[in-house]
Amino acid sequence: MQFIDLAAQYQELKSKIDARIQNVLDHGQYIMGPEVKELEQKLASYVGVKHAITCANGTDALSLALMALDVRPGDAVFCPTFTFFASAETIAFAGATPVFVESNEDTFNICPLDLEKRIKAVIAEGKLNPKVIMAVDLFGLPADYPALTTLAKKYDLKIIEDAAQGFGGEINGKRAGSFADIATTSFFPAKPLGCYGDGGALFTDNDEYAALIESLRVHGKGKDKYDNVRIGMNSRLDTIQAAILLEKLAAFPQELINRNKAAEKYNLELASKHKIPMVPNGYLSSWAQYTIQVEDRDSVMQEYKAKDIPTMIYYGTCMHLQTAFKDLGYQRGDFPIAEKLANSVLSLPMHGYLCRD
């Protein structure tokens, strides 16, 4: 059994994907070819935002979002400690200071109550300028944007939605990627919408941010790429990856239904044995991961292994305990819930071809 069965998906979409790739080989516009624009339009319409701007990967997407919001040394960016490294890494890469926040035990997402405490503490200390909340739609479930938006207004902060795992998720019919000033996603092959290499995108309704991001992703271009008006980066989505994504995006709505069916079946099977993931009322998860919390993780993993069911640990180390962030001065025990999650979570196989019919 596969943890994520990319081969089953390719078998299903093979003739369409192959034709799309061949088409790119025939026209030869490997960088910024017509498929890139077509994909950006389709992504924007799926997510329900004015602008979708593709880039090289989900990590660059976060860096571009931070650059567009002018995040710089001396700024505080609040982000969950229980997440993938890239969320926090890009904050430090921008020269700003990540301020870690506790998680909600049931949803795995950033805890708005703890967030407000940490914002107040930064203000009281007076050393850093509170600037951005970077929320993460962990395992496919959108973070609590209604609460986060209230806090952002109260403390004059911007929000970045890291929807690398959240693409396809919803709150009351509104889709992930549309909840923040700028949202980002990743098309890494294992994500809910993945390509066959690296890829990423940003989403925004704000024309000014969109224009800035378009410039930043091509060397801070002005009129063209040889007129450079700001320091940017080289971060574009390959045309071949855009071509592949066009077919995968067309198949995505059905895959999302299949993922939710698979999650339902897991819920029925596992609710009496382990703590199953909670999806609040009105929310839809894209199930980037189906993650349970278990008592004796090693032995549960062994049991699954004996049945040829692969399992993974996302994530075994919180950001505040990562070696790369040791200079920030956090200690074990600073985030008891996130640390408990890191010690008890276990993810089971999940993809769009696990449950179909």
Ligand X SMILES: *Cc1c(COP(=O)(O)O)cnc(C)c1O
| Cβ at position 61, least distance to ligand X in Å | 7
Q: How far is CA 349 from the centre of its chain?
A: 19
| Cβ at position 190, least distance to ligand X in Å | 8
Helix (H, G, I), strand (E, B) or coil at 268: helix
The H-assigned helical ranges of the chain are 6-27, 34-47, 58-68, 85-93, 112-125, 145-154, 207-216, 239-270, 297-306, 336-344
Residue 6 or 270: the one with the smaller Cβ distance to ligand X is 6
User: Can you tell me which of 17, 24, 164, 276 binds ligand X, judged by CB under 6 A?
Assistant: 164
> Which residues from 187-226 bind ligand X, rule CB under 6 A?
188, 198, 200
> Which residues from 75-104 bind ligand X, rule CB under 6 A?
83-84, 86-87
| Cβ at position 59, least distance to ligand X in Å | 3
Phi, psi (rounded to 5 degrees) for 52: -120, 130
> Which residues from 21-60 bind ligand X, rule CB under 6 A?
57-59
Residue 87 or 344: the one with the smaller Cβ distance to ligand X is 87
Nearest residue to ligand X, using CB? 58
Assign residue 104 a region (left: φ > 0; alpha: ψ between -120 and 50; beta: otherwise): beta
Q: How far is CA 85 from the centre of its chain?
A: 11
Residue 135 or 268: the one with the smaller Cβ distance to ligand X is 135
Helix (H, G, I), strand (E, B) or coil at 203: strand
User: Can you tell me which of 162, 170, 247, 255 binds ligand X, judged by CB under 6 A?
Assistant: 162
> Which residues from 122-151 bind ligand X, rule CB under 6 A?
136
Q: How far is CA 48 from the centre of its chain?
A: 17
Q: Which residues bind ligand X (CB under 6 A)?
A: 57-59, 83-84, 86-87, 136, 162, 164-165, 186, 188, 198, 200
